């Protein structure tokens, strides 16, 4: 199991726009219509990565808790499906159902969106404020497959709560760790 860290792009980075196929609604969705009133979590994930499988339930739990508070969740898979067929859009649709995703799960066929965001791993988390400026990038929490630390979503929950309470984000931002994005040859 490869352990690739986030690239940790600079705070203040502007969210690049995109239009991608949503495996949940079966429509092309525009990022401009997906961003939340308070902030937006963009997650680069996939179906097969054990690091993503490990955090799926916590992501869904947080979405159920925070979406109604003006925070949007957007999941994107950018993996090469020729060499990693477990990540193809049909199987992404199955994941939406099986994991009970309440948010779009977008397919980045050309991998251009992952490149525009400088995404490196799955899961890779980015939080943008209401002006689409990066306020957080890094890990969900300290839990990893096999390290016996319970999932809590503590790092991302802290950022969400700071946004909702209009407080400064002083959290030490640590890179996410996961499988590398499977780039097309």
* Domain locations along the chain: 4-13+35-180
* Residue ranges, the chain, pLDDT below 70: 1-2
Do residues 26 and 96 touch, judged by C-beta distance below 8 A?
Answer: no
pLDDT at residue 5 in the model: 86
The pLDDT, as a whole number, for residue 25 is 95
CATH 3.40.30.10 fits 4-13+35-180, yes or no: yes
* Predicted pLDDT of residue 57: 95
DSSP for 66-109 reads HGGGTEEEEEEE---TTT-GGGSHHHHHHHHHHHT--S-EEE-T
Q: What are phi and psi of 3, to 5 degrees?
A: -125, 90
**DSSP states of 7-67 as a string?**
--PPTTPBPPP-EEEETTTTEEEEGGGT--SSEEEEEE--SS-HHHHHHHHHHHHHHHHHG
Q: What is the pLDDT of residue 1?
A: 54
- Tens of pLDDT, residues 93-115: 999 999 999 999 999 999 999 99
- What interhelical angle do 50-66 and 154-164 show, nearest 10? 20
The pLDDT of residue 81: 95
């Amino acid at each position: 199991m490869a352990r690739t860290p986030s690239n940790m792009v600079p705070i203040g980075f502007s969210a690049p726009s995109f239009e991608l196929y949503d495996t949940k609604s079966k429509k092309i969705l525009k990022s401009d219509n997906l961003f939340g009133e308070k902030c937006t979590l963009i997650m680069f994930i996939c179906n097969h990565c054990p690091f993503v499988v490990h955090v799926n339930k916590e992501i869904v739990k947080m979405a159920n808790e925070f979406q109604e508070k003006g925070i949007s969740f957007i999941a994107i898979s950018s993996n090469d499906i020729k060499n990693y067929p477990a990540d193809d859009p049909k199987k992404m649709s199955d994941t939406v159902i099986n994991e009970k995703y309440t948010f779009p799960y977008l397919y980045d066929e050309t991998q251009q969106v992952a490149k525009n965001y400088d995404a490196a791993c799955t899961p890779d988390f980015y939080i943008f404020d209401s002006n689409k400026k990066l306020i957080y990038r890094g890990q969900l929490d300290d839990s990893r497959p096999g390290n016996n630390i319970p999932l809590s979503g503590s790092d991302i929950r802290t950022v969400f709560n700071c946004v909702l309470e209009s407080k400064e984000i002083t959290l030490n931002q640590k890179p996410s760790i996961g499988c590398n994005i499977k780039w097309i040859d």
